[in-house]
Structure 1
Amino acid sequence: MTLDPEDSKIITLARSARARNGSAEGAAVRDETGRTYAAANVALEALTLSAVQVAVAMAISSGAQSLEAAALVSEGGPSAADEAVASELGVKALLVAGPDGTVRG
Structure 2
Amino acid sequence: MTESNALDPEDRKIVTLARSARARNGVPEGAAVRDSTGRTYVAGTVELPSLKLSALRTAVAMAVASGAESLEAAAVVSGGAEVGAEDLAAVRDLGGAGTPVLLAGADGSVRVTVLA
What CA deviation, in whole Å up to 9, does each residue of 1:20-39 have, x standing for no partner?
A: 00000000000011000100
- Which residue pairs with 2:60 in the alignment? 56
Q: Tell me how large the CA RMSD over aligned residues is.
A: 0.9
Among residues 46, 57, 70, which one is paired with 1:42 in the alignment?
46
Q: Give the structure-2-normalised TM-score.
A: 0.87
- Decide which structure has greater strand share: 2
Instruction: State the 4+ residue runs in structure 1 displaced beyond 3 angstroms.
Output: none
In structure 1, the residue matched to 2:37 is 33
Structure 1: segments with no counterpart, 5+ residues: none
CA shift for structure 1 position 88: 2.0
Identity %: 63
Whichever residue aligns with residue 11 of structure 1, its letter is V
DSSP 3-state at the match of 1:72:
strand
Aligned residue for 2:100, secondary structure, equals coil
TM-score (norm 1): 0.96
- Which sections of structure 2, spanning at least 5 residues, go unmatched? none
Equivalent residue for 1:95, pick from 92, 96, 102: 102
Deviations 1:25-78 (A, max 9, x none): 000000011000100010111100000011011110000000001000000021
Counting matched residue pairs gives 105
What is the rounded CA distance, in whole Å, between the counterparts of 2:103 and 2:72 in structure 1?
15
Q: What is the aligned counterpart of 1:18 among 15, 22, 33?
A: 22
